[in-house]
Amino acid sequence: MNATAENIEVSPETLSQVANQLRIHSIAATTASGSGHPTSCASAADLVAALFFGHMRYDPKTPRYYNNDRFILSKGHAAPLLYAAWAETGLFPTSELLKLREWGHDLEGHPTPRLPFVDVASGSLGQGLSVGVGMALSARQDKLDFRTYVLLGDGECAEGSVWEAALLGGHYKLNNLVALVDVNRLGQSQATSVGHNVEVYAKRFEAFGWRTEIIDGHDMEEILEVLAAAGLGDQPLAIIAKTYKGHGIETISDKDAWHGKALSKDEAQVAIAALQPKARGGEGIEIPKPHQLPEPNVVGPASYPAINYNMGDKIATREAYGAALVRVGEADPRIVAMDGDTKNSTFAEKFAKKFPERFTECFIAEQNMVGVAVGFSALRKVPFASTFAAFFTRAHDQIRMAGISLANLNLVGSHVGVSIGEDGASQMALEDLGMMRAIPDSVVLYPSDAVSTEKLVELMIGHKGICYLRTSRPKTPVIYKNDEQFPIGGAKVLKQADGDKVTIVTAGVTLFEALKAADALAKDGIGVTVIDAYSIKPLAKDLIKAAAQKTNNVILTVEDHYPEGGIGDTVAGELSADGIKVHKMAVLELPRSGKPEELLGKFGIDFEAIIKKVKTLAS
């Protein structure tokens, strides 16, 4: 007998029977659907049965209780196994499992947080451990004693993001984090590179500072014994479980070419009949309850401290971001920050110095950093993750999955465009607006001065979804009063007069080029309307349209970005159907090193280029 917490005894034999019931559910559900991954479920069924019915502390009636042990299915294609486990806890009827993958039903092909027991979406492999690191760090900050368990497939351990997460988990000695690697040997199209050489996985985790245990993933006594040692010492635990894909389904166990294939009705009937005598459900098994500890604060303050800038002072928006983070952080303990070893450039170091216990240095591992931030978000923290905007491109899949996870995630990218100057093309973010706009329901913000930066940071805190703030390296003058408001989806008309010939829509450093051009054009008798489109998505469509209608339906967009996906594409996409002509000025070729003002001119987005273009349009 294995004694779990609270002296509740569940035998290994009983749990093996539960595992077989989970296999039966997985087979039945995927066969009913005609698609899915029953063999991937079968290999991990013993591990999941042990966790859910013999080890983890949680309240099955309240899956998101703040001190529940957390379970992340990184190998998201084994979703039917996860659904079966929760159904067997009594959360919902097992008959619902047969609606797997049906339109309008939340038991999707891969898990999403539409389900109350799923914290984050999975299915794009290699990301679950990063989220687990974030959750484990959050638990430590909140002084909660729940553990985070992440079930990975061996195939996804080829992803570099897994080892980025392993590095950080080992670095921070997260002994409240457990990774279980289901080493079933077979990938989607062939055997994995390592196969059943479980020692290789153990050595890799050990190299990153993890304690490791190699077990037979189908021996329930071994599984329970190693789980009982979770949390001991000061290292995270990696359980390397040798398993067989399709275990328990005799005709296809450990056979290639069965990944992602449902059994036929006849095959399923035979497999279920063989498992049925050795199976039982989860009824009657008492699950240990989580400890009752103080609940973390999840409610923000009524307001944040006021800002105090002087008009005309020159401050880079990246520096204003750092100041804003400290200001709001003082009033809001939910706020946490992380950075990819660029905090002295993004100015996240201001927050790190003020609140070291709420700052996580993620080092140069941007994919993992975004995953860590998603983990914090899943536990109702308000994460701000920052790095050079160019380096977020490396983490696009993690950002995409954060959107599917319905995460409340704030990303801050600095050092954008050619205006960074001498560092050269590799450091210049010129694609980021398009990338971030492509995320469903995302918000993309591009402030031009310190006041707008500070106000937008405040709004990001309360916004649900993915928010991206684009900050600049050059110092720019403060042009707004401290009490100015910047609603998401808004814009500011900075210059406008009757008889204007062109409406210029811009943001960031090129706003100041546009203002300079407007002053010069006025001396030549050519008036232009200048709009600060600080909210790229959602765009202030009606405001911009109204301005354009006063300038013969002519708009000129100017941006320190490639033309694809930036301000010009955004404005054209919103207004071209209304008969408004949108002319775009953007960086049109591969840039190179030079002084910021020199590069703005060389690539045709400085005030002189704007003057020339406006005169052409006006004529």
Residue of 499 and 9 predicted with greater confidence:
499
pLDDT of the residue at 414: 99
Which residue type does 185 have?
R
CA angle at 42 for the pair 41 and 45, rounded to the nearest 5°? 80
| Mean pLDDT value of segment 324-343 | 99
Q: Residues 351, 329: contact at Cβ < 8 Å?
A: yes
Q: What is the largest CA-CA distance in the chain?
A: 91
H or E segment to which residue 388 belongs: strand 382-388
pLDDT band of residue 1 (cuts 50, 70, 90) is very low
Say whether pLDDT at 528 is over 60. yes
Say whether pLDDT at 290 is over 50. yes
| Mean pLDDT value of segment 31-53 | 99
Residue 532, token pair as written in the block: 């600060």
366 included as an active-site residue:
yes
CA atoms within 13 A on the CB side of 129: 31
Catalytic residue among 159, 366, 431, 574: 366
Contacts of 105 (CB under 8 A, 6+ apart): 96, 99
**Dihedral sign, Cα of residue 475, residue 476, residue 477, residue 481:** negative
pLDDT band of residue 9 (cuts 50, 70, 90) is low
Domains of the chain, first to last: 2-278 (3.40.50.970), 314-477 (3.40.50.970), 492-618 (3.40.50.920)
Q: Residues 83, 29: contact at Cβ < 8 Å?
A: yes
pLDDT of the residue at 383: 99
| Mean pLDDT value of segment 78-101 | 98
Residue 177, token pair as written in the block: 């984090």
SS3 285: coil
| Mean pLDDT value of segment 390-396 | 99
Residue-wise pLDDT for 459-513, tens only, equals 999 999 999 999 999 999 999 999 999 999 999 999 999 999 999 999 999 999 9
pLDDT of the residue at 3: 38
Contacts of 403 (CB under 8 A, 6+ apart): 439, 440, 441, 442, 465, 466
Residue-wise pLDDT for 415-464, tens only, equals 999 999 999 999 999 999 999 999 999 999 999 999 999 999 999 999 99
Say whether pLDDT at 5 is over 90. no
What b/e readout covers 468-487, taking b as 16+ CB neighbours within 10 angstroms?
bbbbbbbebebbbeeeeebe
pLDDT band of residue 368 (cuts 50, 70, 90) is very high
pLDDT band of residue 7 (cuts 50, 70, 90) is very low
Cβ neighbours of 425 (radius 10 Å):
13
Q: Cα 113 to the chain's mean position, in Å?
A: 13
pTM of the model: 0.97
Cα separation of 63 and 70, whole Å?
9
SS3 78: helix
Cα separation of 508 and 495, whole Å?
16
pLDDT of the residue at 572: 99
**Phi, then psi, of 174 in degrees rounded to 5:** -85, 85
